[in-house]
Chains A and B, each alone.
Chain A
Amino acid sequence: MTVSHPLLSLKNIKVTFGGVRALKGVSFEVNPGEVHCLAGENGCGKSTLIKVITGVYTPEDGAEFLFDGKPIAAMTPTLAQSLGIQVIWQDLALFGEMSVAENIGFQLAVKGKYGLIDKSAIDAAAKKALARLGIELDIHMPLKELAIAQRQIVAIARALVGEARLVFMDEPTASLTQSETDYLIEIVRNLQASGVAVVFVSHRLAEVLEISDRITVLRDGALVGVYPVEGMTQSRVTELMTGRNFDSAVIAADHDDAPVVLSVKNLTRHGEFSNVSFDLRRGETLGITGLLGAGRTELALTLFGMRQPHSGEILLAGEKVRFGSNRDAIRAGVAYLSEDRLSLGLNQPQSIADNLVMASLDRILSGGLISSSRKANVVAHWISELGVKIGTPDDPIRTLSGGNQQRVAIAKWLAIGPRILILDAPTVGVDVGARAGIFDIVRKLAAEGLSIILISDEPPEVYFNADRVIHMVEGRFQAVYDPRQTSLTELESAVYA
């Protein structure tokens, strides 16, 4: 890097929304050809900063904005694009009904000569962008037929059409599997090699540390610092992001004296999982990990009565059960927290209170009708029990942060008084700091005697929060680990092998 000035340099960026300081005088710098990580919890100002850089928001007076050494008086989205600043948004902002080529070449399509579209130029640009990424894809395929990882590639290719010099990637790996993530990292390296600077925004610290040269940490709208990635550890980054220190310690303990609550024998569902057997005791937390597609969620849905096993047995407290539907399972005291909180776990437009009592309506009835006082009692009880931070219980649930939403989702199931709680990926879209809070709740519930099955594709989560860890591969139980006798590295290398 012989260039003496940074590609992008911001100083003293202040943004205020309705009296709330979203950015309190932040500085940010990206060098040419660098992979830079922008880290911080939700609400720390990352997105606001990206929107300032792309001209969506205007910073207050006193800001200094240099691109390629030249001062920018007023950034606009159009100017940002013409300077080669591109953002790949978390939701990708692609057009499902259009073809791959129409998506990649969209900028050309809206800027055509005489207001007309040049279809061959669009196709050529799409092919060129994909070739630069080393990807082969049918450019006439409708986007909606592509898998999420391929759509990600389309979004990246679209950024390249605009002669990108600086690409922001907002949580690009949130919905990718490990191998897809590896693939994306490879693509980012290719971009870097061709001289494009990439700013990576991600919750997943492992990949951040793997790919970045430097890391800028924001907290509460203020700059914490800029650090070289060398010598950085995940726990150090977490500490910088949250301002707190999370000691990770193994909590595993023996529960051999406790009664068996759930016993599964040779459970099989063809094409999903086979010969699964385990016992779950009172107060025990059983971790299940494995790659996406290992059959974890399918197993959980079967235990929850939403799918019927083809063979094998499920015994609850020694008694054989057959669930016709999840209503039977709920009645028997089995609760399942869905892995997709946004669309399946909670009813986003409805209020916090309505969401919380959704699974336990029969418990708040009075003369066949919902008793508002009973409902209020249940809601107040669980809000305080789980420490959910809310305005009023009548606010829509979507106004809460991911961590608080998840607490309500857990409370919804606790309100039915379950014996077994299955948590499927409970920390997806939850901040690092709030994750610790969720696991504090899980530990407390286990200590009170609830039996928990904790499913996660992040090995550390199950390693530090479960008594036993089962590693699932292609629908089978590959191995059972005791965190007290195994190192995290051993578990991770087994999972990612």
Chain B
Amino acid sequence: MRRNGPLALIFHAIFVIVMVAPILVVCLVAFTPEGFLSLPSNGFSLRWFRAIANYPEFIHAFWVSLGLGALSSFVALLFAVPAALAIARYRFRGRDALAALFLSPLMIPHVVLGIAFLRFFTSAGLGGSFAALIIAHVIIVFPFALRLTLAAATGMDLSVEMAAVSLGAGGWTLFRRVTLPLILPGVISGWALAFIQSFDDLTMTVFLAAPGTETLPVRMFLYIQDNIDPLVTSVSACVIAITMTALILLDRFYGLDRVLAGKGDPGR
């Protein structure tokens, strides 16, 4: 295959710079020693990171996001793992329709989901509660949990299971001692991707969160609506750092292109 020419490389360089620039500028402004938005031209300062400590609502929102992401991704897996095993192993009537239903939260605009859940949970008397947030997040992260588990279950060597059955293992033992360990990398990656999706969601959560259950993106969004100052850049820089760490771990552990390309969609 031919190599890239100089023009192609210049295009590539500009492209990468533009992709990185907005993220980089947030991280740089976060280190400004000034009291206003500016690039740190005379020295770096951590004052705006220290300032986060004086805003308990950001810290509280961070813990809400963390708990919500961890818990909803875990609950989503409790439902997704059996469903993924069924879709991967069996050919049954309605299989394609079920898979489409389970992946449908990817297609439905999050603003529509937010409205639907707001209406639903308010009628159910759960408006603004943490429980409502958990259930809503389980639905939106489900496709990610399902896809990666499905990929792992489809690629699994079934003869190992057969050997276990022939040795007398059945039902729960078979799952716990044989199947689960084999699909575990997919399950953990599914959890991590689901966690990131939950941790980052704004559009749906902004409809459901009430004071006390505001997640970090919601808190940041409401703050930006009022004014943009260096504080919100230092909070964003922390969020970016957390996501980057998760991203690099996910890439090392599983391969980012595999995670994002969603290999293992039924019918591919």
B and A form one assembly? no
Q: Chain B residues in contact with chain A, CB under 8 A?
A: none
